Structure 1
């Protein structure tokens, strides 16, 4: 598999995964929240924050897929490099709030690494010859 194809597969999977996770947080917020890693969650009117998280993920997923479909691979690489901050900060938040280290590193840390690797692969690509 070529590097370009690998970057494309990783970007598509990342975009689709974000759409899926975002939809889960909108449709089943309390159930989805348990896997995030924080020990407590908003209740009552505070549950709107879970919808915010869901829409954040859907928005990021749509940005990834839109840039990929538009053929803007360098812009996608830059966007994904910037987006890697989100799961990395989620990892730090889970750790600071006393959540399980396994979830912090295994879910959020690995996600940050996967996003950063995908960004790196996209940014290393050479422009096509004219």
Structure 2
């Protein structure tokens, strides 16, 4: 598999996963929050914040997919690099709030590493010869 194809696959999977996660936070906020690594609020309290997180994830996923579909691979790489701070922040928040280290590192840390690798692959690409 070429590096360009790998970057494309990682970007598509990242975009789709973010949209899926965002929809999950909108449709089933409490059960989805359980997998995030932080204690959830009692039922019917704070679900607005979970909906905000869902919309954030949908927005990030759509940015990734839109830039990819528009052929703006360099811009996608830079945007993806900027977005890498989000899963790093999520990981640090889970750890600082006493959430499970396995979730912090296994979910958020792995996501941060995947986003950073994807960004690196996209930024390093050479423009196609004309």
TM-score by length of 1: 0.97
- Name structure 1 gaps, 5 residues minimum: none
- CA RMSD, 1 decimal: 1.0
Render the CA deviation track for 1:13-57: whole Å, top value 9, x for unaligned: 000000100000000000000000012436535210000000000
**d(CA) in 1 for partners of 2:92 and 2:62?**
25
* Matched residue, 2:89: 89
Q: Say yes or no: does 1:20 pair with 2:20.
A: yes
Matches within 5 A, 1:96-111: 96-111=96-111
* Matched residue, 2:70: 70
Q: Secondary structure of the residue that 1:44 maps to in structure 2?
A: coil
* Matched residue, 1:35: 35
Report the number of matched residues. 130
Q: Say yes or no: does 1:51 pair with 2:77.
A: no
- Name structure 2 gaps, 5 residues minimum: none
**d(CA) in 2 for partners of 1:42 and 1:118?**
37
